[in-house]
Amino acid sequence: MINFLLLPIIIPFFFGMILMFNQKSIKYQRITTLFGLLLAILSAFGLLINVYKNGPQTLTLGDWPAPFGISMVSDMVSVLLVLTTLVLTFFIVWYGFESINKKREQFFYYSGVMFIVTGVNGAFTTGDIFNLFVFFEVLLMASYLLIVLGGEKAQLRESIKYILVNVISSALFVITVAYLYSVIGTLNMADISVKIAEFNQPGIITVIAVLFLLVFGMKAAIFPLYFWLPGAYAAPPIPVLALFGALLTKVGIYAIMRTYTLFFTHDIAFTHDLLLILAVITVIAGGIGALAHFDVKQIIIYNIVIAVGVILFGVAQMNEVALEGAMLYLVHDMIIKAALFMLIGIVIYLTGTSNLRKMGGLIKHYPALGWFFFIAALGLTGVPPLSGFIGKLLIIQGGFEAGNIWTSIFILASSLVVLLSVIRIFIYAFWGEQGQLSSDINKTTYNRLFFPTMLLVLVSVAYGVGTEFILPYMEDAAKVLSDPSIYTDAVLKGGE
pLDDT beyond 60 at 213: yes
Question: 279-296, pLDDT tens digit by residue?
Answer: 999 999 999 988 888 888
**Cα separation of 348 and 341, whole Å?**
10
Name, of 40-49, 256-265, 358-367, the range with top average pLDDT. 40-49
| Residue 147: Cβ-neighbour burial (10 angstroms; 0-12, 13-18, 19+) | buried
pLDDT of residue 3: 63
| Residue 107: Cβ-neighbour burial (10 angstroms; 0-12, 13-18, 19+) | middle
Calculate mean pLDDT across residues 44-60.
87
pLDDT of residue 496: 42
Q: Is the peptide bond before 202 cis (omega within 30 degrees of 0)?
A: no
Which of 63 and 347 is assigned the larger pLDDT?
Answer: 347
3-state secondary structure of 186: coil
Calculate mean pLDDT across residues 171-184.
90
Which sign, positive or negative, has the C-alpha torsion 355, 417, 269, 329? negative
pLDDT, the chain, mean: 86
pLDDT of residue 80: 92
Question: 214-245, pLDDT tens digit by residue?
Answer: 988 888 888 888 888 888 888 888 888 899 88
The model's confidence at residue 21, banded by pLDDT at 50, 70 and 90, is confident
The model's confidence at residue 494, banded by pLDDT at 50, 70 and 90, is low
Calculate mean pLDDT across residues 430-447.
78
**Cα separation of 334 and 303, whole Å?**
12
| Residue 393: Cβ-neighbour burial (10 angstroms; 0-12, 13-18, 19+) | middle
Which sign, positive or negative, has the C-alpha torsion 127, 133, 137, 139? positive
Calculate mean pLDDT across residues 303-330.
90
Question: 377-421, pLDDT tens digit by residue?
Answer: 998 888 888 888 888 888 898 888 888 888 888 888 888 988 898
Q: Is the peptide bond before 67 cis (omega within 30 degrees of 0)?
A: yes
pLDDT beyond 90 at 248: no
Residue 58 CA: distances (Å) to CA of 5, 125, 478: 8, 9, 18
pLDDT beyond 50 at 83: yes
pLDDT of residue 1: 37
Q: Which spans in 238-356 are helix H? A: 238-243, 249-262, 268-292, 296-317, 320-351
Calculate mean pLDDT across residues 432-450.
79
**Cα separation of 19 and 23, whole Å?**
7
Give percent above pLDDT 70 in the chain: 98
pLDDT beyond 90 at 108: no
pTM, full prediction: 0.91
3-state secondary structure of 57: strand
Contact 188, 491 (CB under 8 A): yes
The model's confidence at residue 335, banded by pLDDT at 50, 70 and 90, is very high
Calculate mean pLDDT across residues 145-152.
80
